Structure 1
């Protein structure tokens, strides 16, 4: 005689629609279906947050599976296990009875097992002839077989979400590090740009980052940081490419495109006694450099030769060498001279000579294709003691004097000054008669 299959729990446990849904699902098992019970358990373990179960409940489920003798769960086999609470506690590593009951209820609510309670609530099995089980009261494992594909899909989805979360955290960490260090490098290297604004933009983005956040929030913040990273990286990359271009030009071609033979900053003028190989460092060239005046150039002479530097001075006036150095530092960015090239020039030549060289380069800027590369070339010559600022300034001064004399010969008169100095009608060039005669006498 067939016994009625229990569908409601024993005692004061209520019947719910969730229990009925689990029982309906357990009935939808196709013939011949078989799954590995431990593979199903691993899928449930990976998807436990999505299923709403706990680690202690999974320990009990693991113990229940050990009471099923076969390695596979099949639709033809008996899927009801009926261990006592004492046996479950022993296989669940000594869990307390109250904890056992609480987590057994969790397995039932999550639809992982179904209670098949006997009339008195005891768990046992009734066997027939030959020892075959005719009726069993306990926990039905058929939901594990019926929902095996669902558990597998959930496990894959959880694994994919976990990987995506890990990747977005890696993106966020690397992007934060890159942005901070690139802005710091830009500030330290004096790269032109609104780096203070980039820093404020970074701080505003990071301030919205909560201590714990879902992946979607992290994705949005990471995207904003990557946009900032792209802006900062593009600015630095453009600056580096311009620096490389300047360096390549300084080594592969002449930087001065000048048709005026009077201007040769490396020391040769039209009044020189011969052609010397300056790049080769011959003894004649060394003697030529050493024969130049040992005293410093007069500031007035530098300003007369290089008047274009004056507008960069604070207040439009240069009274001291310090004013000239400050004006040169302000003019440097507009000339395309990098901070490293300028710093190297100051270290090799000294602040005063470096400022004079930059003023001279500015004066002839329209004839020099790469100012930064040209300054590096002069710095290297100065390091080898093959360069002096005197020929550079005197060449510029001679060029300006020649141009003014041509203009004067065309009709622009000169006025005699009480102190014997010569001043052009335009008043743009002042030079003492003694210095003028000395320059002509020495062939400058």
Structure 2
């Protein structure tokens, strides 16, 4: 940083170490760096909790950006805007002067803008003989451009945390619903079981949850409910076994031979077949039951709902190691925290940044995470980024892959292998 570029505030405003640090950061902009100012503004809005600014301060920043004549923020001397307070008040919907000055100071303190005060404290620009702006005094937007990557990473972290919390809330809702109904099934089929105690333990587990629980609070309650759910399922399985034994002893005279041969494939698919709904295996034959048993009630209502998987165990379900995904899609590494990806969480953080850059809607990304899983959705976005020059609409393509996955017509493996084969150095690996 050139020492002659340091500016101090006008009047009684004191110079602080934070202001000097912001000027140092602003002076280190890459000469070729540029970014859409409105995309960057939306990124700041998403990361406002980390940046430490209010929504009113963001309204003032929006007004300042509107005075910058170009859409792209580019490095150079032209990043200073010089509106008067009256003009700023008009573009902030009539914000009072004292409020406006307070939020301008908050933006300076947060390191999003710099003051470049003139000798008399006025905001203006000097033009040369050709009409071009020479020196300008007002608010410098250079810190925004210099911190673009940092702000994108912060916004991605917040979006990822919000997404994980939403998925955890969904798992909690499913677990609560399933557990309530499983306890009712146990109460109806086994009156001697202590269902009141189970119900009381369930209520004690969910009662401490606040109205808007954090991810850690949800995971803690899910752990307690998981133990309780396993206990209820164990009791129901014991009832099923007792019912089978009772049926074998009492119904020895009436047997109907099943017309469907037994095989591993057919026995798995035949659970929902209407022709076998009232049959139970008994030594190679089938026994007619007068009423549905507990096992059928449990299978009908709860068999399709898998046990919620803890967050720390999801990464182990990946069919491909992270190194293989990065070898197939090296372009996404630049968007990871600090320009590198060392874990699946780093890949998911980079995917959130890439989602915004490729103009993929939040809804399309959330649906992909719900259907494919967060890690697989991140790997798919990495593949889309790698082939972005050949894809007209990244958002539409992601939605199509999500729909195909629901129909069991898509898997990420062939996509990764195709990208591996496209790199000359990975031919042997892909084969």
Do these two structures clear the TM 0.5 threshold for a shared fold by scoring above it?
A: yes
Q: How does 1:345-424 map to 2 (within 5 A)?
A: none
Residue of structure 2 equivalent to 1:41: 41
Give me the whole-angstrom Cα distance separating, in 1, the residues matched to 2:17 and 2:213: 34
Could you tell me how far 1:199 is from its partner in structure 2?
Answer: 2.1
Could you tell me how far 1:49 is from its partner in structure 2?
Answer: 0.9
CA deviations on 1:207-230 (whole Å, 9 max, x unpaired) are: 332344422122111221122122
Residue of structure 2 equivalent to 1:161: 161
Give me the whole-angstrom Cα distance separating, in 2, the residues matched to 1:17 and 1:131: 36
Residue of structure 2 equivalent to 1:109: 109
Q: 8 Å contact 2:6–2:20 — kept in the other structure?
A: no
Give me the whole-angstrom Cα distance separating, in 2, the residues matched to 1:374 and 1:148: 70
Residue of structure 1 equivalent to 2:382: none
State whether structure 2 residue 174 is matched by structure 1 residue 148.
Answer: no
Task: Give 3-state SS (helix, strand or coil) of 1:129's partner.
Answer: coil
Residue of structure 1 equivalent to 2:221: 221
Residue of structure 1 equivalent to 2:132: 132
Residue of structure 2 equivalent to 1:176: 176
CA deviations on 1:227-279 (whole Å, 9 max, x unpaired) are: 2122213322442465367558877x5489xxxxxxxxxxxxxxxxxxxxxxx
Give me the whole-angstrom Cα distance separating, in 2, the residues matched to 1:248 and 1:140: 85
Q: 8 Å contact 1:249–1:255 — kept in the other structure?
A: no
* 1:375 to 1:159, Cα distance in 2 relative to 1, 3 A: closer
* 1:116 to 1:190, Cα distance in 2 relative to 1, 3 A: same
* Count, aligned residues: 260
CA deviations on 1:383-438 (whole Å, 9 max, x unpaired) are: xxxxxxxxxxxxxxxxxxxxxxxxxxxxxxxxxxxxxxxxxxxxxxxxxxxxxxxx
* 1:142 to 1:69, Cα distance in 2 relative to 1, 3 A: same
Task: Give 3-state SS (helix, strand or coil) of 1:151's partner.
Answer: helix
* 1:190 to 1:72, Cα distance in 2 relative to 1, 3 A: same
Residue of structure 1 equivalent to 2:58: 58
Residue of structure 2 equivalent to 1:98: 98
* 1:64 to 1:241, Cα distance in 2 relative to 1, 3 A: farther
Give me the whole-angstrom Cα distance separating, in 2, the residues matched to 1:213 and 1:170: 12
Give me the whole-angstrom Cα distance separating, in 1, the residues matched to 2:248 and 2:78: 83
**RMSD of aligned residue pairs (Cα, Å):** 3.0
Give me the whole-angstrom Cα distance separating, in 1, the residues matched to 2:157 and 2:106: 23
Q: Which ranges of structure 2 fall in alignment gaps of 5 or more residues? A: 256-282, 292-431
Residue of structure 1 equivalent to 2:188: 188
Could you tell me how far 1:51 is from its partner in structure 2?
Answer: 0.9
* Larger deviation, residues 213-222 vs 4-13: 4-13
Residue of structure 2 equivalent to 1:86: 86
Q: 8 Å contact 1:6–1:117 — kept in the other structure?
A: no
Task: Give 3-state SS (helix, strand or coil) of 1:225's partner.
Answer: helix
Q: 8 Å contact 2:6–2:23 — kept in the other structure?
A: no
CA deviations on 1:115-161 (whole Å, 9 max, x unpaired) are: 11112211111111211222111110001111111111111111101
Give me the whole-angstrom Cα distance separating, in 1, the residues matched to 2:179 and 2:166: 20
Residue of structure 2 equivalent to 1:30: 30
TM-score (normalised: structure 2): 0.55
CA deviations on 1:89-133 (whole Å, 9 max, x unpaired) are: 111111111221111111111111011111221111111121122
Q: 8 Å contact 1:191–1:239 — kept in the other structure?
A: no
Residue of structure 1 equivalent to 2:198: 198
Give me the whole-angstrom Cα distance separating, in 1, the residues matched to 2:205 and 2:153: 36
Could you tell me how far 1:36 is from its partner in structure 2?
Answer: 1.1
TM-score (normalised: structure 1): 0.54
Q: Which ranges of structure 1 fall in alignment gaps of 5 or more residues? A: 257-368, 378-444
Give me the whole-angstrom Cα distance separating, in 2, the residues matched to 1:225 and 1:106: 45
Residue of structure 2 equivalent to 1:325: none
CA deviations on 1:272-295 (whole Å, 9 max, x unpaired) are: xxxxxxxxxxxxxxxxxxxxxxxx
* 1:197 to 1:125, Cα distance in 2 relative to 1, 3 A: same
* 1:242 to 1:11, Cα distance in 2 relative to 1, 3 A: farther
Residue of structure 2 equivalent to 1:209: 209
State whether structure 2 residue 41 is matched by structure 1 residue 69.
Answer: no
Give me the whole-angstrom Cα distance separating, in 2, the residues matched to 1:115 and 1:184: 66
* 1:243 to 1:75, Cα distance in 2 relative to 1, 3 A: same
Q: 8 Å contact 1:67–1:83 — kept in the other structure?
A: yes
Give me the whole-angstrom Cα distance separating, in 2, the residues matched to 1:375 and 1:217: 45
* 1:119 to 1:88, Cα distance in 2 relative to 1, 3 A: same
Could you tell me how far 1:77 is from its partner in structure 2?
Answer: 4.9
Could you tell me how far 1:59 is from its partner in structure 2?
Answer: 1.0
